[in-house]
Structure 1
Amino acid sequence: MSHSEETRPLIFITNDDGIGSPGLRAVAEVLAPMGDLLIVAPKQQQTGAGRSFPPGLWEFEPQEITLSNGTVLPAYAINSSPAQAVRGGIKLLAGRTPDLLVSGINYGENMGVGVTISGTVGAAIEGVAAGVPGLAVSLETDIHHHLVHSDEVDFSVAAFFAHIFAEMMLKLSLPPHTDLLKLDVPMEATADTPWRITRLSRQNYFSSTVEEWDGVRRFNGYRRDVDMETLEADSDIYAIMVDKVVSLTPMTIDLTAQSDFAALAEEIRLSLRDKGSNAWPPSAWR
């Protein structure tokens, strides 16, 4: 995509860790020279919110984010989910359609089929639904860092890769059938760490842990839980866990199965006929 000298690209920045997250500040730091920033993020921790839209009033609170060079960027906190922050920001604050949405940098990697739980990815999906290409950025961290804004986590390398791919997305349109890119960076990565295109693993990656208290079983957290024997070598999980390279996963919001529709329809019709089903009128069998 191209921009005139008079119009800098508008980059929407959000996350699911909340407006005070150092990961949000780190990505704003590297994106500020590339365009005008609209920073809108949840007021509080929203990890695991997915693309949810819980009921309630959305109230924007003006904030400020100070960069390392002393530049103060305006920002907004909103008492909502990440997806609601995106919709509210685009509809009520942007003034024009953003050229790119960057969600992150998240405390903790988002991989496998569990990405639909991720508020980081959910925010990017909401942007895509509004016509804005998205980049969801996550850094592998220890689990005990997932819900806190720890200063022990260094986001500089993840921000480096976020800058590279955000710049690319501002210059080039994503290929057909690709709506957003999911970027996961290993915790020990450097600027020289290779990156590769991956697919979503069909494994969950995180599984819930259970405890028993006074005879009642309940969830008490989660852990990484990967079956290495069946883990796909071209997957995001394999890239991060095994090869320890940067994972870039092209994603689409079209959840339609890539099936042969005609063959599937015929198989269903034959099955219904064999069972004598009255579920469909005869006209549907022709």
Structure 2
Amino acid sequence: MSSTRKQILLTNDDGIESPGLWAAAEALARLGFVTVAAPRDQYSGAGRSHPLQADGIITPRSLQIGRQIWTAYAIGGSPAQTVMFAILDLMPHKPDLVVSGINYGENVGSGITVSGTLGAAFEAASFGIPALAVSLELPSGEYYTHSREVDFSSAAYFTAYFAERLLNLPPQPDVDVLKVEVPASATPQTPWQVTRQSRQRYFFPISRRKDGLESPADVNFIIRVEPGEVEPDSDVYTLRIKKQVAVTPLSLDMTSRLPLDELEQTLRGRG
């Protein structure tokens, strides 16, 4: 195998058994050598967390992806920890690209810091590696499943499309992660648009507790989008209203983009 072949690390937050992961692996295979390493367990909603109870055990798995048998690695940890362990213990050298996805369900608006899909991508970016996070819009009942009824083909097309560009383009200033949201109705011909991340909440939580505060509870979510309140250049508007692929550049620098000297003067009471 040529030493110049691009090295791609593929991960997710839905776990090693996710068909979305397999679809991405098959799509990326023509672009380089793909190392598949994903959480051993379902880890949606983990953000970029590094839970102390994770055991870090790496277990090789033989999986059939398309017509090929792949050796993939199940890792005992969060998506971010999976990326860390893969880079430190599995890869021959730092990968040229890390791809996280294809996620069961969209990751848009103010909730993206909750996403394990984005957490894995930001972990990669913290190592100085270009990162791509891809999610597919789905009915809410399928978010935490490994349903084989979901068609990932169009999302796989856009995964390879943007992965190829990240592999071949020079780094873009202040772009550490490229976030791609694919509508449920998308085809490879669906237009795409570069967007900003919406500041609006997209998933609204509902506490489900039956027997008082000391009883167990979980949280369900409903999606609420008011077209008149959502920024027209945002990921939410592009995905939900325009039904187009939303491509959002994200930065590790979460500093507010206001003039820092003006804020300092205001905080010192001199404004």
Same fold (TM > 0.5): yes
Match of 2:128 in 1: 131
Match of 1:83 in 2: 80
Please list the CA deviations of residues 166-215 of structure 1 after superposition, one character each: whole Å capped at 9, or x if unmatched.
Answer: 00111002310111100000001111110000110001200111345235
Amino acid at match of 1:108: G
TM-score normalised to structure 2 length: 0.95
SS at match of 2:170: coil
- Does residue 1:66 correspond to 2:64, yes or no? yes
| Structure 1 spans left out of the alignment, 5+ residues | 273-286
Shift of 1:270: 2.1
- Does residue 1:54 correspond to 2:68, yes or no? no
Matches for 1:114-129 after TM superposition, within 5 Å: 114-129=111-126
Alpha-carbon contact 1:111-1:237 (below 8 Å) kept? yes
Please list the CA deviations of residues 230-284 of structure 1 after superposition, one character each: whole Å capped at 9, or x if unmatched.
Answer: 1100000001110000010000010111121111111222269xxxxxxxxxxxx
Match of 1:170 in 2: 167
Matches for 1:1-286 after TM superposition, within 5 Å: 6-56=3-53, 57-69=55-67, 71-216=68-213, 218-270=217-269
Report the CA distance shift for 1:219/1:20 in structure 2 as closer, same or farther (over 3 A). closer
Alpha-carbon contact 2:208-2:220 (below 8 Å) kept? no
Amino acid at match of 2:24: V
Shift of 1:19: 0.2
- How many residues are matched? 268
SS at match of 1:104: strand
Report the CA distance shift for 1:79/1:193 in structure 2 as closer, same or farther (over 3 A). same
Amino acid at match of 1:66: Q
Alignment RMSD, CA only? 1.7
Shift of 1:95: 2.0
| Structure 2 spans left out of the alignment, 5+ residues | none
SS at match of 1:250: strand
Alpha-carbon contact 1:42-1:85 (below 8 Å) kept? yes
Report the CA distance shift for 1:6/1:61 in structure 2 as closer, same or farther (over 3 A). closer
SS at match of 2:59: strand
Alpha-carbon contact 1:208-1:219 (below 8 Å) kept? no
Shift of 1:103: 0.2
Give me the whole-angstrom Cα distance separating, in 2, the residues matched to 1:244 and 1:233.
Answer: 12
Give me the whole-angstrom Cα distance separating, in 2, the residues matched to 1:63 and 1:271.
Answer: 62
Alpha-carbon contact 1:30-1:159 (below 8 Å) kept? yes
Shift of 1:72: 1.5
Shift of 1:219: 4.5
Alpha-carbon contact 2:100-2:121 (below 8 Å) kept? yes
Amino acid at match of 1:183: V
Greater CA radius of gyration, 1 or 2?
A: 1
Identity over aligned pairs, percent: 45
Give me the whole-angstrom Cα distance separating, in 1, the residues matched to 2:238 and 2:64.
Answer: 34
Alpha-carbon contact 1:178-1:250 (below 8 Å) kept? yes
Amino acid at match of 2:221: Y
Please list the CA deviations of residues 97-152 of structure 1 after superposition, one character each: whole Å capped at 9, or x if unmatched.
Answer: 10000000000000001000000000000000011110000000011111110011
Q: Which range moves more in the overlay, 260-269 or 185-194?
A: 260-269
